[in-house]
């Protein structure tokens, strides 16, 4: 269990533990682990610089959880919901050959900007995942496509213990467990709500629509969803100095 050190140190130790993780999944599925393999050294450098910049303290934060890393998003950067272009812009970290500017992170950057900027946002929140390793499904053409842990019941069951332990470890990043925000108001929220009813990890869970859903299908109403995010994040406006 991760307990000692700054929040940055706790997160980086958690990432290091993921680098040693070996998980069984059903045939036709594959785990994407940004913390191991050929890219692990680059990801370690990125995550170290990022978390030391924004989390080198012992502040209490609230937790925002997505479902799992996208293979061309966090699986490249190692940082939840951060794409390569934004990381370089905000931190000066250069990620060679990976300039994928995703609509999901664009929306979240608007949320951060309206909230008060990246420094203020990351001072109040930690973004993670219910399942912190990416999952892909091999389609009929042999190509890898993004997959969520809840899309297959056998897959969900095989990952259940790993998910529970990962959530418990993330809570030890000085997390205020009275509230948790769930990105994905459908199956991700249903799973997390059911798990929370059994294990009582959080006082309440607030669902928020996934940025991809907002930008692809409801972009005309983006401001409505932006205000929904801001109202939810500000509902417990604590002074954390």
Domains delineated in the chain: 7-232 (3.40.470.10)
User: pLDDT tens digit string along 98-129?
Assistant: 545 565 678 898 999 999 998 999 999 999 99
pLDDT value for 241:
34
Where do we find the tokens 């309206």? 114
pLDDT value for 117:
92
The residues of the chain scoring below 70 in pLDDT are 1-3, 90-91, 93, 95-104, 235-241
pLDDT value for 172:
95
Helical H segments across the chain, by residue range = 7-19, 40-54, 74-77, 84-91, 103-115, 118-124, 153-171, 187-199, 211-217, 222-233
User: pLDDT tens digit string along 160-181?
Assistant: 999 999 999 999 999 999 999 9
Q: 126, 105, 108: which is closest to 117 by C-alpha? A: 108
Backbone angles phi, psi at 113, to 5 degrees: -60, -45
Pairing state between β 144-146 and 134-138:
antiparallel
pLDDT value for 141:
85
pTM of the model: 0.90
Cβ atoms 147, 135 nearer than 8 A:
yes
Vertex 167: Cα angle to 163 and 173 (nearest 5): 150
For residue 209, CA distances in Å to 117, 119, 153, 236 come to 21, 23, 23, 19
| Separation CA 32–CA 42 (nearest Å) | 15
pLDDT value for 85:
78
- As given in the structure block, the two tokens for residue 19 are 């680098």
pLDDT value for 137:
93
pLDDT value for 212:
86
């Amino acid at each position: 269990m991760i307990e000692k050190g700054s929040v940055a140190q706790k997160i980086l130790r958690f990432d290091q533990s993921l680098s040693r993780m070996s998980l069984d999944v059903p045939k036709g599925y594959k785990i994407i682990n940004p913390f191991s393999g050929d890219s692990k050294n680059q990801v370690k450098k990125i995550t170290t610089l990022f978390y030391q910049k924004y989390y080198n303290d012992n502040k209490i934060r609230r937790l925002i959880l997505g479902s799992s890393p996208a293979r061309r998003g966090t699986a490249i950067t190692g940082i939840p919901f951060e794409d390569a272009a934004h990381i370089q812009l905000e931190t000066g970290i250069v990620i060679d050959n990976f300039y994928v500017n995703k609509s999901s992170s664009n929306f979240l950057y608007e949320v951060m900007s309206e909230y008060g900027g990246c420094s203020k946002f990351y001072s109040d929140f930690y973004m993670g995942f219910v399942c912190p390793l990416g999952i892909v499904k091999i389609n009929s053409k042999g190509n890898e496509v993004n997959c969520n842990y809840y899309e297959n019941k056998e897959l969900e069951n095989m990952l259940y213990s790993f998910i529970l332990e990962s959530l418990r470890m993330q809570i030890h990043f000085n997390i205020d467990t009275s509230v948790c925000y769930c990105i994905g108001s459908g199956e991700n929220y249903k799973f997390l709500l059911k798990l929370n009813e059994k294990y009582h990890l959080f006082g309440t869970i607030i669902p928020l629509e996934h940025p991809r859903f907002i930008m692809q299908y409801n972009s005309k109403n983006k401001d409505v969803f932006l205000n929904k995010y801001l109202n939810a994040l500000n509902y417990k406006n604590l002074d954390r100095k």
